[in-house]
Amino acid sequence: MDRTRADGMNDNRQNRAGTLVLVSTPIGNLGDMTARAIETLKSVSVILAEDTRHTRKLLAHFDIHNELVAYHDHNKERVTPGFVERLLGGESLAVVSDAGTPGISDPGFYIVRAAIAAGVPVSVVPGANAILPALLLSGFPTDAFVFEGFLPRKSGELERKFRSLEDERRTYVAYVSPYKLVKVLEAAERVLPERALAVVREITKIHEEVRRGTAAELLAHFSKGEVRGEIVLVVKGREK
């Protein structure tokens, strides 16, 4: 087959390609599910989800019965080519994370990159996320901020990360595992003892909590017992 004909066939496939849609889902309160998100999930051929057990409950609540397939860090490299082929064949697929907007600190980014490389249209149904609400609830400046996903797990790496924030004037936002919060605050106390922090927990849920103060003040509260829930740490930037 000559190259001109092959290129023409590729163009035809891309012209009839379906759309990859990133669909935001609630981070706690089901009332945050948008009508467009529900409509989109009902219309696509397949829904890709990090945790199908978690997503299946959400879909059942909104009477959505489309095909649901696991898509996570352990299988993304193996299954992505097949999903791109389905997209090129004209099917539309949706990607959801466990909660919030997919593609941010989750495997959704991987298939987005593959779809773009294949010439597949990509769309987003915006909605709930934890980053912006935590930033707003912190009370810290919002005109410039930086988000870096999950903080490092090891104490030495944590300290290096906080040292890198000593001269940072933007507000810093990061995800923190509840099991690592005390260790994170201990590292912050050693490196940024005077800096204002905010721990924002269980956003939009019944037990939503916002604690502001120095690392030592936050440690006095969170070291009393087991910490639970989804957590975002916000660090105020250095004063000018």
Quick: pLDDT tens for 18-59.
999 999 999 999 999 999 999 999 999 999 999 999 999 999
Provide the pLDDT for residue 14: 58
C-alpha 220/C-alpha 232 separation (Å) is 18
116 and 177 co-located in one domain: no
Provide the pLDDT for residue 95: 98
Structural domain includes residue 178 = yes
Provide the pLDDT for residue 15: 67
Last residue within a domain, chosen from 73, 101, 125: 125
Average pLDDT on 157-163 reads 95
94 and 164 co-located in one domain: no
Cβ-contact 177, 231 below 8 angstroms: yes
C-alpha 108/C-alpha 194 separation (Å) is 37
Structural domain includes residue 202 = yes
Q: What is the mean pLDDT of the chain?
A: 93
Provide the pLDDT for residue 221: 96
CATH number at residue 191: 3.30.950.10
C-alpha 92/C-alpha 238 separation (Å) is 46
Average pLDDT on 67-91 reads 97
64 and 153 co-located in one domain: no
Provide the pLDDT for residue 132: 96
111 and 154 co-located in one domain: no
Cβ-contact 26, 130 below 8 angstroms: no
215 and 105 co-located in one domain: no
C-alpha 130/C-alpha 137 separation (Å) is 11
Provide the pLDDT for residue 82: 97
Provide the pLDDT for residue 9: 45
Pairing type for strands 67-70 and 46-49 reads parallel
Provide the pLDDT for residue 6: 46
Average pLDDT on 80-100 reads 96
Provide the pLDDT for residue 229: 92
Show the CA angle centred on residue 203, arms to residues 199 and 209, nearest 5°: 50
Give the DSSP letter string of 177-227. -TTTHHHHHHHHHHH-TTS-EEEEESTTSTT-EEEEE-HHHHHHHHTSS--
Cβ-contact 182, 227 below 8 angstroms: yes
For 137, the domain range is: 131-235
Answer whether residue 155 shows pLDDT above 90: no
121 and 21 co-located in one domain: yes
156 and 121 co-located in one domain: no
Average pLDDT on 106-129 reads 96
Provide the pLDDT for residue 124: 97
Structural domain includes residue 240 = no
CATH number at residue 118: 3.40.1010.10
Last residue within a domain, chosen from 88, 108, 125: 125
SS3 content of the chain, % helix, strand, coil (to 5): 40, 20, 40
Number of domains, the chain: 2
219 and 147 co-located in one domain: yes
* Burial of 119 from C-beta contacts in 10 A (0-12 / 13-18 / 19+): middle
Provide the pLDDT for residue 3: 54
Question: Closest Cα partner for 176 from 195, 197, 194, 201?
Answer: 201
Provide the pLDDT for residue 2: 57
- Whole-model pTM: value is 0.88
Structural domain includes residue 150 = yes
Question: Closest Cα partner for 106 from 64, 74, 152?
Answer: 74
C-alpha 240/C-alpha 237 separation (Å) is 9
Last residue within a domain, chosen from 77, 107, 125: 125
